[in-house]
Structure 1
């Protein structure tokens, strides 16, 4: 009797744990085989990752904002973990529904497989062969499910000596095979030696270094961050579930659209040009009031304005449309990147090293004074001069602001909220402020709603980087609420009104409540 046929009344059926295990193993094999084939045709073809990336693209704006606020840089791990749990549940359901016949589970497995095919086909970075991965996943999942189901059902129908042992061996072998396929797929996906390429690039030495960071540029001994953020601590917020792996020797950048002359530049083309270094603070639009998504680095690269002047920007082009190797896009105002004093870069280096892989190696854009979602494309491979009316980039298409200028902001770093301070004496309150590209002129602090008082500012490095501040307060014992606000060099004062980060950046005064114990 075929297990996929309509079972006769009273026909043998699988025990629930066995049926559920068969469903789980079939899904594991499907995912592993898809990952294995993707390791050959391209990592983005992995059905699991493709579905995850599609889920990110289709997630409502409010839910994305909630995920970033709640989970921070772990939002993608949470997504992948949630997907794994959903798949596990679906696998168990498929198995339990198929205790007598493999047909229900096969239908559900087919539906999941078709979802993977659709997700891969929808990816902007999918190649012509990418569809092979989800197809292989679909076929493998259904075939293994039916094979294990038939083997398990035969043991129930015609018990025989050694039958159960053979079934256990089949189940174990399937589990091991799925594990081996998954590991091999990961190995093949990482076969592009990006780390070796990055090491071969060596130190990135600018011909025009940035000015030395002066003594007193931070108050790190009194609770502020160090002025320069180490590469490993630099914030990262992007949509990439798997970091693109591009070798410098394979990389190229196409500049086209509304230009007089189309350009295609290799990594060596950029490396051979005059490299300048700029000290720049970058800020994410998702940063809440008092949030951590702001960091500062010495970026080294080629002035973007010079490259665009070489291409020749035609009148009417108001958007520089950048595309990452994984298909993510950002649209930057042309008038901003063409400002000589702005110093927008095609960046190759970060704090003297080639860009870290997760921060855009080989090349990324960095435009001071604009939130990253419109100005900081990582793994950059294409720049098109166009108009905002003609094309919409990834986040603009989802309702975010078009221009994205960074809003003046200040943050209290010490004391932490709800902390208890002991030891007597004065209380030092310290933090950081930013207002790129105008620069920070003043930070004020007030306690318990009282009068504002000026904080002491750190040495001023440049208008495109942050500035640390501190103030010493003689506070009585008890609970206290401290607030801060910054004023930029144009005289604009950080607004009090709390506004959420989306669509174009948060506003509001940061505050911290703490208790002084004498």
Structure 2
């Protein structure tokens, strides 16, 4: 082994630190450039979105079951761990030569390019982000690899020299001259600071597209059709049921967006096209100048299990979709409206649901008296009463194409049903599972929903006894949930309470358990608790 090769042999710690800092530099550089060009092209986000798209259906279901609304955070954390492990392996493989690490970074770059192209399309400007990430990673890796202190040759000196250096500076693996170690530490610290600054700047620039200011500047017009006041008896919150209106901060969120799209109203456009007599293009101001109506609507996610929490109610303000479709002129043979979000998610809504004069499907711009929260689709989203969200509630809406079912939307390609009316369901909110409560008279309370049909009654039974009819809250409209409650006298011991709802069509919620796939879960909700 010659002297030149000795100078290029890194210790384990130096090799791993070099690789990790290089990957950090690559990701933050890509994130910064993406904030200046196309946020969806940020390498970490683009690869994560592709992972979501390509994940098999059982994996998606498992992620939602395990992590709920934190499934995207879990994915990001998991990706981070994989990146750290691969970078560590690449660094260790690069102790003698930077080639393995350079190949790994280049592979990451190619993956980022492919992912960005699949999400954004062949936009040269958008592809600058993964390119910048690759160049930054390679540049930093080569620089730090040259700067890193080397270890002595494999000899008696190699076995004693590292120990001597470690005793001098209190480190392990960062061996070499004192000035060499100091130079590497300064270089590494510089890369870490620059990466932190780039990542922070990218985040701030992404937010600085004016979305927060744009949302604050929106003055919602007064609706031409106002929602009737909600009666006092619509809410059984004091009995343990949820409040009738769900606060925006508590409204469930389920979507495929790894990074929430941020579109200011000045950049928003909507195109209505396809099987129509005339295409329509609207700005946000043009949309909000149209006839608006306000209405409380309960929304439910198809991923909601029996007794689950993915159901919420808000008063939405928006333009009826049927008004736009009537203006565009729907041609014969049209079967669905394929709605597309700015992040290219698609949903297919049956044309009859959107043109039904008795069903107020909306292009919503407001939610509970304020502009839509960014996480819930600002500036415009769809809300269609009576249908699960995956076929009817596209957020960050930008395109409506009138078409046939041959044009398959996102979830239909993954085995979910094309038509997905919300199923009649009920949930027990009080008592909670395995709760210990005083014996004697107790109040059992919950909520039931049968959107666009309406809840007629709710029945409760304890320990498989006879069904008893619960008290229902005052109805608001057939597109919203209803609260229920019942007082029961129970002796000490363990008890199981079950509930079932009957809608206004006469259909009673089935006891048969079915999973969420392909069109929503079924079954009676039951809760076991102890009276003592």
Question: What is the TM-score of this pair, normalised by structure 1?
Answer: 0.96
Distance in 1 (alpha carbons) for counterparts of 2:195 and 2:51: 25
Structure 2 equivalent of residue 20 of structure 1: 16
- Structure 2 counterpart of 1:406: 422
Q: How many residues align?
A: 511
Q: Cα gap change, 1:437/1:101 in structure 2, threshold over 3 Å: closer, same or farther?
A: same
Q: Secondary structure at the match of 2:496?
A: strand
2:290 aligned residue: 273
Q: 2:433 aligns with which of 417, 430, 433?
A: 417
Task: Return the offset for 1:46.
Answer: 0.5
Q: Distance in 1 between matches of 2:7 and 2:371?
A: 66
- Alpha-carbon distance between aligned partners in 1 of 2:45 and 2:72, rounded to the nearest angstrom: 11
Q: Map 1:48-197; keep pairs closer than 5 Å.
A: 48-124=44-120, 127-153=123-149, 160=177, 162-197=179-214
Which position in structure 2 is the counterpart of 1:43?
39
Which position in structure 2 is the counterpart of 1:501? 516
Assess if the C-alpha contact under 8 Å between 1:252 and 1:264 holds in 2: yes
Task: Say whether the 8 Å CA contact 1:456–1:469 is kept in structure 2.
Answer: yes
CA distance in 2: counterparts of 1:286 and 1:160, whole angstroms: 60
Counterpart CA distance in 2 for 1:212 and 1:161 is 76
1:310 offset after TM fit, Å?
0.7
Measure the CA separation in 2 of the matches of 1:147 and 1:186. Answer: 26
Structure 1 pair 12/253, CA: closer, same or farther in 2 (3 Å)? closer
**Gap change, CA 1:479 and 1:126, over 3 Å in 2:** farther
2:408 is aligned to 392
The answer to whether the 8 Å contact 1:27/1:141 transfers is yes
Q: Would you say the 8 A contact 1:204–1:300 is kept in 2? A: no
Give the alignment partner of residue 459 of structure 1, picking from 474, 491, 496.
Answer: 474
Q: CA deviation at 1:12?
A: 6.1
Aligned-pair RMSD on alpha carbons? 1.8
Once residues 66 and 159 of structure 1 are traced to their aligned partners in structure 2, the CA distance between those partners, rounded to angstroms, is: 49
TM-score (norm 2): 0.93
Match of 2:396 in 1: 379
Structure 2: distance between partners of 1:125 and 1:167: 40
Answer yes or no: is the 8 Å Cα contact 2:34–2:42 preserved in 1: yes
1:372 & 1:241 partners in 2: Cα distance? 18
- Runs of 4+ displaced beyond 4 Å: 153-161
Measure, in 2, the Cα distance between the counterparts of 1:161 and 1:347: 64
Which string of whole-angstrom CA distances, capped at 9 and with x for unpartnered residues, describes residues 113-167 of structure 1? 1111111111146743111111111111122112111221557689555222111
SS in 2 for 1:232: helix
Deviations 1:175-230 (A, max 9, x none): 11111111111122222111111111124421211111111102100100110111
Aligned residue among 220, 230, 233 for 2:247? 230
Could you say what secondary structure the match of 1:216 adopts?
helix
**Residues 463 and 341 (structure 1), Cα distance of their counterparts in 2 relative to 1, 3 Å cut:** same
**2:49 is equivalent to residue 34 of structure 1:** no
1:474 to 483, 486, 489: 489
Structure 2: give runs of 5+ residues left out of the alignment: 154-174
1:255–1:263 CA contact under 8 A, matched in 2: yes
- 1:425, distance to aligned residue in structure 2 (A): 3.2
- Correspondence 1:340 to 2:357: yes
Contact 2:318–2:365 under 8 Å retained in 1: yes
Q: How does 1:357-376 map to 2 (within 5 A)?
A: 357-376=374-393
Aligned residue among 315, 321, 329 for 2:332: 315
Alpha-carbon contact 2:8-2:146 (below 8 Å) kept = no
